[in-house]
Amino acid sequence: MLNFEYYNPVRIVFGKDTIAELDRLIPPDVSVLMLYGGGSIKNNGVYNQVLAALGKRRVREFSGIEPNPLYETCLKAVEIIKQEKTGFLLAVGGGSVLDAAKFVATAALYTGIDSWDILAKGAEVKAAVPLGAVLTLPATGSEMNTNSVISRASSGEKLHFSSPCVYPQFSILDPETTFSLPVRQTINGIVDAYVHVFEQYMTFDVNASLQDRQAEAILLTLIEEGPKVLKNPNDYDARANVMWAATNALNGLIGCGVPQDWATHMIGHELTAFHGLDHAQSLAVVLPRLLTYCREQKKAKLLQYGQRIFGLKLTGGDECKTADAAVKATEEFFNSLGMKTRLSDYRIDAGDAAAKISSRLKERGTMLGERAELSPDDVSKILTGCA
């Protein structure tokens, strides 16, 4: 096991009718900027529940945060905060709204010249406006971590930053708010969480037995409970299990003391930036091909995964066949949810994607993977295989 430090002070308030707890969680005399996306929270009652809970606090709204939230949009919210001396940011929505709120929270207090440097140059984040969240879409884990991914329309870039300053003070997770999610977002969330686990689990082995089994606990839960929510969107327990699994997939715990990969995410971000794929779609396309490409490096864990998650047997001692079967079972699970896993399914030319993305990675000098040994040329080959 590798050395690690784990610190996660987010207060999770989980369950039915918990949005009303906002009144206890946010100071009574603070001015609140409420950030959200489109109209879904108005249709499913969340918007009204939030406003009722905030009571007589001064609330300013900022709506229109898009999927893959834009830097340009965030800057508008930053202006409001500066003008109104907002004391608390409340993100109401999914990972996009949370990620935007995190960036806005720190950009509003950024003392450098250009807040884009936080994303592009890793400029130090020293402070953030306090923030909290009401999560309505289980997927990214942003409700219980320090991560944020922001896109820039003007340059077509999608970049991330991370800082303990942007831990939400609390996140409210009411599974009932997810009953009305569109099927596509539900599927995306399950796949996103699944791949988050993979980035921290499907790496070279360091004898971190507990972390491996905690990761497998999430995978098994998603495999069991994911189909249930698709079959019956109002199944409370299944929704609750998927929601809590998605949070645990990226709250730092399963990443303790293990190597991490994140190549699938880095490649996927570029697919979204260049070709507009949903984040989870990009992951579902890249992951199976990346696993096949890196089969040798990841073989020990692929075999463990195949045996523990899908009950595969190491018949005849052919490890390569078993590893391949584990990859195939993963892709079949995604497909069974209704998630397509080929670039051609999304009418994207694999050669074109491979050329554009490997070229950008070359410019940046980026090497990917758990040992930083995947070159832009490797990425090109992986993407070509995604046809």
The answer to whether 23 contacts its own copies (rule: CB under 8 A) is no
Site string for its own copies, 174-213 (x = CB under 8 A): --------------------------------xxxxxx-x
CB closer to its own copies out of 18 and 272: 18
Sign of CA dihedral 18, 20, 25, 31: positive
The answer for 160, left when phi > 0, alpha when psi is -120 to 50, beta otherwise, is beta
Q: How far is the CB of 10 from its own copies (least distance, A)?
A: 8
Q: Measuring CA to CA, how many Å separate 348 from each of 6, 18, 274, 339?
A: 40, 42, 10, 16
Closest CA to 201 of 187, 191, 215, 183: 215
The answer to whether 320 contacts its own copies (rule: CB under 8 A) is no
Closest CA to 269 of 141, 107, 150: 150
Sign of CA dihedral 181, 36, 169, 161: positive
CB closer to its own copies out of 144 and 283: 144
The answer to whether 52 contacts its own copies (rule: CB under 8 A) is no
CB closer to its own copies out of 251 and 272: 251
CB closer to its own copies out of 68 and 248: 248
Closest CA to 149 of 195, 102, 198: 102
Distance CA 370, CA 375 (A): 12
CB closer to its own copies out of 176 and 378: 176
The answer to whether 142 contacts its own copies (rule: CB under 8 A) is no
Sign of CA dihedral 242, 243, 244, 250: positive
Per CB under 8 A, the segment of 1-9, 145-153, 181-189, 313-321 that binds its own copies is: 1-9
Q: How far is the CB of 323 from its own copies (least distance, A)?
A: 22
The answer to whether 9 contacts its own copies (rule: CB under 8 A) is yes
The answer to whether 218 contacts its own copies (rule: CB under 8 A) is yes
Distance CA 237, CA 229 (A): 9
Tell me how long the chain is: 387
User: Which helix (H) or strand (E) element contains residue 252?
Assistant: none
Distance CA 234, CA 178 (A): 8
Q: How are beta strands 131-135 and 88-93 bridged, if at all?
A: parallel
The answer to whether 13 contacts its own copies (rule: CB under 8 A) is yes
Per CB under 8 A, the segment of 10-18, 29-37, 116-124, 378-386 that binds its own copies is: 10-18
Instruction: Out of 14, 179, 274, 310, point to the residue binding its own copies (CB under 8 A).
Output: 14
The answer to whether 214 contacts its own copies (rule: CB under 8 A) is yes
Q: How far is the CB of 215 from its own copies (least distance, A)?
A: 9
Distance CA 269, CA 157 (A): 9
Q: How far is the CB of 143 from its own copies (least distance, A)?
A: 12
- Residue 257, strand partner residues: none
The full DSSP string for 48-86 is HHHHHHHTTS-EEEE--PPSS-BHHHHHHHHHHHHHHT-
The answer to whether 368 contacts its own copies (rule: CB under 8 A) is no
What residues between 231 and 290 interact with its own copies by CB under 8 A? 236-238, 240-241, 244-245, 248, 253, 256-257
Per CB under 8 A, the segment of 70-78, 84-92, 125-133, 217-225 that binds its own copies is: 217-225
Using CB under 8 A, count the residues that bind its own copies: 43
Distance CA 116, CA 230 (A): 39
Per CB under 8 A, the segment of 11-19, 105-113, 118-126, 354-362 that binds its own copies is: 11-19
- Residues in contact with its own copies by CB under 8 A are 1-16, 18, 206-211, 213-214, 216-218, 220-221, 224-225, 236-238, 240-241, 244-245, 248, 253, 256-257
